[in-house]
Amino acid sequence: MNKSALASAIAHRHAMTMTEATSIVDTVTEVVALMLVEHGRVNINRFGRFRLQHKPPRQARNPKTGETVQVGERVTVQFTAADELKRRLLESNQGPRIE
């Protein structure tokens, strides 16, 4: 699902225009990003938790040349699904499959 599909689903569910729904999606993503920058984490009940994860500098290898290069420190966003979301995914057979 992309931003347009999400906005379309919201518009359909709440009888609003695509412009209004797109504005809502934009606002939610802006607020989540802002809260991550300011607080380092965002918890959404029954959905999950976004948190910043700091990765230390490390040695890596260029796959084409085999040359060792230094990769600097970086920050990524980690998402952990809430138990409610995990349960719903498993019940719908869309969750991870263990074989």
Is residue 98 predicted with pLDDT exceeding 70? no
Domain of 33, CATH number, reads 4.10.520.10
Total structural domains within the chain: 1
The boundaries of the domain holding residue 71 are: 3-91
Is residue 95 predicted with pLDDT exceeding 80? no
Please indicate, yes or no, whether the overall pTM of this predicted structure exceeds 0.85: no
CA 32 to chain centre: 10
* Distance (Å, whole) CA 60 – CA 24: 40
How many Cα atoms sit within 13 Å of 31 on the Cβ side?
Answer: 9
- Examine residue 77 and state whether it is found in any structural domain, yes or no: yes
- Examine residue 96 and state whether it is found in any structural domain, yes or no: no
Q: Are 57 and 72 in contact (CB under 8 A)?
A: yes
- Examine residue 58 and state whether it is found in any structural domain, yes or no: yes
Q: What pLDDT, on a 0 to 100 scale, did the predictor assign at position 49? A: 98
- Reported confidence tier of residue 90, pLDDT bands at 50, 70, 90: confident
Is residue 31 predicted with pLDDT exceeding 60? yes
- Reported confidence tier of residue 91, pLDDT bands at 50, 70, 90: confident
- Examine residue 31 and state whether it is found in any structural domain, yes or no: yes
Is residue 24 predicted with pLDDT exceeding 90? yes
